[in-house]
A and B are shown apart, each in its own frame.
Chain A
Amino acid sequence: MHKIYDYPKSRAAFERALKLIPSGIYGHQGPAEGCYVPVEAFPLYSSKAQGSYLWDLDGNRFIDYMCAYGPNILGYHDPDVDEAAARQRAISDCTTLPNPIMIDFADLLVDTVASADWAFFAKNGNDVTTLAIMTARAYTHRKKIVFFKGYYHGVSPWTQKIDYAGVIEEDVMHNLYVEWNNLEQLREVFDTHKGEIAAVIAQPYMHGNFMDNELPAEGFWKEVRKLCTDEGTVLVVDDVRAGFRLDLAGSDHFFGFKADLICFCKALANGYNVSALCGQEFLKNTVSSMSYTGSYWMSAVPFAAGIACIEKMKRIDCPRLLDEKGRLLREGLTDAAREQGFDLHVTGAPSLFYLRVADDPSLRLHQEWVAECVKRGVFFTNHHNHFINASLSDEDIRETVEIAREAFAVLRERHPL
């Protein structure tokens, strides 16, 4: 039996934070948006991280399947990436004139990403999804954007919905929504708004919350690509979440099509803060003409980290490695569920799997199971996809499955057949 964790120091820190920071921890890394149910089962702050592990303020160690919500792809504190970053930091970082390592990074990205003829750097995923939409509008002189329901493309007003606090009708009045994998709806929208659609923006597959993740149907992307080309609409792939976990050449390449614009962040530099918009040649001049930058967007340290990260991902064939680890974990978790008579759905790509205990439509059983896993040292979250990183060992996977099994046994005792 594993030790059951508790978190008095995390709680104390959170109480202090509430006095100083709106909602204590805002966004998806906070207990509310992070769906920490019940909140007592979850740590709230970390003290350190290494490889596949993070430690909370109370000294509890977790095998971390959120990987900072994606950036940790090689393992926390990967020595090669950290060394490259340290080397660059000793030279220069945030300076008046950019360091030419920026060009090296762009060169590497163009060489790596199949649809990329150029690269533009920023800091967060939202920076580059926003640039992608502005680029599409500038190029097409059109206003409307098509989204697939269940999407997440950042936090700028255009990415949000009309009922979100601080968002006004005008922010989202040109947003059009269709269901994932529904080509008929997409065609209808193109027919209804003939000549008005600037961009279709989509993640490479549907990794929405509260539902099983859904891969593209056979022929879906090919048809979306054709529709966009025929209608003069820019096809934007938001690869912020899945980027480099499916295919180093981009998730569009993985699914057999070519995006006009593709957005990267998270796994780009193993936690160093940089994002990138890559695109096809015909859009380069449009981006050149735009006024879009930020104080830290040309900092050199993240570029050095990004170069080291991509080179290492290539050396170790990272997507294949993550896929293998993900499959091994998926098999172990579903077996552990089955042993206790539970139906665990593991959906999406193995390298960024989504979990759902499907025996209860209210998801309460699922939340109970996740809570029991977390209290024993496996950091899952309830309703977001998870992430595999390259440092995850077979021993980590074995321990995870053992804890999952124990958690399912607790559930079965509580909810006998």
Chain B
Amino acid sequence: MKDEKVLAYCNLFGVLGAIPYLLELDEAARELVRGKTLSLGFAVKDGPHGTLAFSDGRAEMRRGTKGCSIKLYFPSCKAFNALIDGKGMPIPLSGFWHIGFLLGGFTKLTDLLSAYLRPSPEALAEKAFHERSTTLMLHVIAGAIAEIGNHDPVGRFSASNIVDGTVRIGIGDAVAIGIRAEEHHLTALHEPPAESLSEMCFNSMQTARDLFDGRLNALAAVGTGRVRVAGMISQVDNVNRILDRVSVYLA
């Protein structure tokens, strides 16, 4: 079952949380925010609060909305999720003089993000796009795993079985993220963790893509060596159970 509040957390810290990595990967995206220093706060009633802070072609996602230059208010998680789905409009509470960015640059940025996260088969045929798209999906998934593990009832059960330490999830030598567990609270690490208690590594971008798109079964892939697991495998096992929930929320 899909819970609107959990979906809102996934959308804010998973989907919009990928914008900083979109800027790292895509020159056109960077151009849209070059020279801009402002922060966009998302305040969702009975849901997540977060701020996307831009600074000259870079961005970071922070928890809370304190000090943001534009604050967008959403009366419910459902309203926020509708916006992410392209079906709603936010209510700006402050920072009206930045409304041009909201309607212009930021909208183009989210359109670009959508193009990567819901790519056409033609776009995916290009190797560089395929890699950027798959890398961004990994970041979205990392964020969503943490939110589902912390907020979804079934996800919380899985997290309750994860021992403390970091799971490294990598794609070949190209990219890696981490999921850190501390007393069953999960945090997404959007860079290769310095140390890990366990790891799951996809041998190629194509393998990662096939798994994310549901065309490849993880158990079969472990058998063929396309996916490698090592270390405290119970961690990987439980993170994978949460990963199954990601598709419930973000498919």
Taking beta carbons and an 8 Å cutoff, which residues of A are in contact with B? 14-15, 18, 22-26, 30-33, 35, 37-40, 44, 161-165, 209-210, 361-364, 367, 382-383
Q: Which B residue sits closest to A25, measured CB to CB?
A: B223
Known: A23-B217, A38-B228, A162-B157. A14 touches B233 (CB 8 A): no
Instruction: Please tell me which one of the listed residues B154, B196, B219 contacts residue A32 in the complex, with CB atoms under 8 A apart.
Output: B219
Contact between B230 and A367 (Cβ–Cβ < 8 Å)? yes
Contact between A362 and B198 (Cβ–Cβ < 8 Å)? yes
The residues of A that contact B165 with a CB separation of less than 8 Å are 361-362
What's the nearest-Cβ distance from chain B to residue A311, in Å?
40
What's the nearest-Cβ distance from chain B to residue A399, in Å?
28
- Interface presence of B120 (CB below 8 A): no
Known: A24-B220, A163-B241. A383 touches B154 (CB 8 A): no
Contact between B241 and A363 (Cβ–Cβ < 8 Å)? no
Listed A/B pairs (11) with beta-carbon separation below 8 Å = A14-B224, A15-B224, A22-B217, A23-B220, A26-B219, A39-B224, A162-B154, A163-B242, A163-B244, A362-B165, A362-B197
What's the nearest-Cβ distance from chain A to residue B162, in Å?
11
Residues of chain B from 184 to 207 with CB closer than 8 A to chain A in the complex: 196-198
Instruction: Please tell me which one of the listed residues A24, A38, A164, A362 contacts residue B225 in the complex, with CB atoms under 8 A apart.
Output: A38
Contact between B223 and A164 (Cβ–Cβ < 8 Å)? no
Instruction: Please tell me which one of the listed residues A24, A32, A161, A362 contacts residue B218 in the complex, with CB atoms under 8 A apart.
Output: A32
Contact between B219 and A30 (Cβ–Cβ < 8 Å)? yes
How far does the alpha carbon of A210 sit from the alpha carbon of B163 in the complex, in Å? 11
The residues of B that contact A383 with a CB separation of less than 8 Å are 233-234
Contact between A31 and B230 (Cβ–Cβ < 8 Å)? no
- Interface presence of B81 (CB below 8 A): no
What's the nearest-Cβ distance from chain A to residue B75, in Å?
29
The residues of A that contact B225 with a CB separation of less than 8 Å are 38-40
How far does the alpha carbon of A26 sit from the alpha carbon of B223 in the complex, in Å? 10
- Interface presence of B134 (CB below 8 A): no
The residues of A that contact B238 with a CB separation of less than 8 Å are 163
The residues of B that contact A162 with a CB separation of less than 8 Å are 154, 157
Q: Which 7 residue pairs of A and B lie closest in terms of their CB atoms, listed nearest first?
A: A32-B222, A32-B219, A23-B219, A362-B231, A31-B223, A163-B241, A163-B158
- Known A40-B225, A164-B241; further 6 A-B contacts with Cβ < 8 A: A30-B219, A35-B233, A38-B230, A39-B228, A163-B158, A363-B232
- Interface presence of B229 (CB below 8 A): yes
How far does the alpha carbon of A101 sit from the alpha carbon of B54 in the complex, in Å? 79
How far does the alpha carbon of A14 sit from the alpha carbon of B231 in the complex, in Å? 24
Residues of chain B from 128 to 181 with CB closer than 8 A to chain A in the complex: 154-155, 157-158, 165
Residues of chain B from 57 to 108 with CB closer than 8 A to chain A in the complex: none
Contact between B223 and A39 (Cβ–Cβ < 8 Å)? yes
Contact between A37 and B217 (Cβ–Cβ < 8 Å)? no
How far does the alpha carbon of A33 sit from the alpha carbon of B154 in the complex, in Å? 21
The residues of B that contact A165 with a CB separation of less than 8 Å are 244
How far does the alpha carbon of A163 sit from the alpha carbon of B225 in the complex, in Å? 25
The residues of A that contact B222 with a CB separation of less than 8 Å are 31-32, 39
